[in-house]
Structure 1
Amino acid sequence: MSSDFYQFSILPFAAIIIKICRAYTNSQEDFEDYYQEVCLQIWRSKDNFKGQCEWSTWVYRISLNVCLTLLKKKKNGQQHFTSDRLPDDVTTDNKAFENESLNQLYKAIKYLSEVDRAVILLYLDEKPYSEIANILGTNPNNIGVRVKRIKERLKKILDGKIN
């Protein structure tokens, strides 16, 4: 990967990659592995970008697909979360964000399904429903309903009503 490509095509969108990787990892080591793999896949797929969407949308798609694929591979060989409670031995600390409120939000987001995590991350980045639907391959009305339900669920998690 050339340093020019990284500097102009990945670095300006690093916040997107960081947010997505953080939402799908439980340790700093996994976060770093996911981040590196996402960057590699963006570089590998650069020739497939046809300009039919914004580059940032392309980065979102690749980031989500890579993280979901890596998560699926990891789950096939390890325990995965099926309840509203994270196993005690999983660390949710991650140095990607130092803000405690943000850490609490990301910890709550980990209770959501993989698809719901993607929806709420895009929503928090103030993407319009139409763009979220385009990235996830669904329709905007579906996104509106999902966002409402996800927000209610996150509120319950953050208020301690789900443990």
Structure 2
Amino acid sequence: MAEGDQDRLFAEAIDRFGGALARLARGYEADTELRRDLEQELQVALWQSFATFDGRCSLSTWVWRVAHNRATSHMLANKRHAQRGWSSIEDVEIADADADATPFARADSEHAMALILGIIDRLDPPDRQILLLYLEGVAAAEIGAVTGVSPDGVATKIHRFKSMLTRRFAGSGDAR
């Protein structure tokens, strides 16, 4: 691919996905300094990847695949797995730290997002990839193409995540 085409694709990708890549970095890295490093690594990996981009998949699928592969490599290089105590989505239980909170307080969006990100921080990299892409609005089929998990497997993971959140936010009340 010509360098001009590579530059054009990179600029388009950053324009369309720059904010999502920053959120993805937050999902993978809690430390502020390491997160900035990861954001730069994502951009460099993406720019370099366009030298081999042949258009057999959509730009979106390519960007997510490169970003998630690089983010996973970043995490493994920093050997956070043993220190963080990651879990599979099937094994995560949410402690109800706000058992005495009012329903209004439980519904506060900042609190809810902090809870969701806290759960995602504890997940194995494959589950983390699926949920971060889901939160970005990526379709199950495309998540499957990025992660190598079947669309049915993706849907199952997302359903389990939603069920877990429903139990958490519903508390002891009806989960409808």
Scaled by the length of structure 1, the TM-score of the pair is 0.75
Query: What residue in structure 1 maps to residue 144 of structure 2?
Result: 133
2:73 is the alignment partner of 1:63 = no
CA distance in structure 2 between the partners assigned to 1:79 and 1:55 by the alignment? 35
Query: What residue in structure 1 maps to residue 129 of structure 2?
Result: 118
- CA pair 20-158 structure 1, distance change in 2 beyond 3 A: farther
Query: What residue in structure 1 maps to residue 16 of structure 2?
Result: 12
CA distance in structure 1 between the partners assigned to 2:126 and 2:36 by the alignment? 21
1:132/1:140 contact within 8 Å kept:
yes
2:85 is the alignment partner of 1:81 = yes
Unaligned runs of 5+ in 1: 86-98
1:133/1:140 contact within 8 Å kept:
yes
Post-superposition offset of 1:12: 2.5
For residues 4-24 of structure 1, what are the alpha-carbon distances to aligned partners after superposition, in whole Å with 9 as ceiling and x for unaligned?
655433232112211211111
2:140/2:151 contact within 8 Å kept:
yes
Post-superposition offset of 1:44: 0.9
For residues 57-77 of structure 1, what are the alpha-carbon distances to aligned partners after superposition, in whole Å with 9 as ceiling and x for unaligned?
111111111110010111179
1:142 to 153, 161, 171: 153
- CA pair 36-144 structure 1, distance change in 2 beyond 3 A: same
SS at match of 1:47: coil
2:110 to 73, 91, 100: 100
Larger radius of gyration: 2
- CA pair 80-160 structure 1, distance change in 2 beyond 3 A: farther
Report which stretch shifted further, 11-20 or 139-148: 11-20
CA distance in structure 2 between the partners assigned to 1:82 and 1:117 by the alignment? 10
The percentage of aligned residue pairs carrying the same residue is 27
Scaled by the length of structure 2, the TM-score of the pair is 0.70
Query: What residue in structure 2 maps to residue 92 of structure 1?
Result: none
RMSD: 2.9
- CA pair 106-113 structure 1, distance change in 2 beyond 3 A: same
CA distance in structure 2 between the partners assigned to 1:81 and 1:103 by the alignment? 19
Unaligned runs of 5+ in 2: 94-108
CA distance in structure 2 between the partners assigned to 1:70 and 1:42 by the alignment? 14
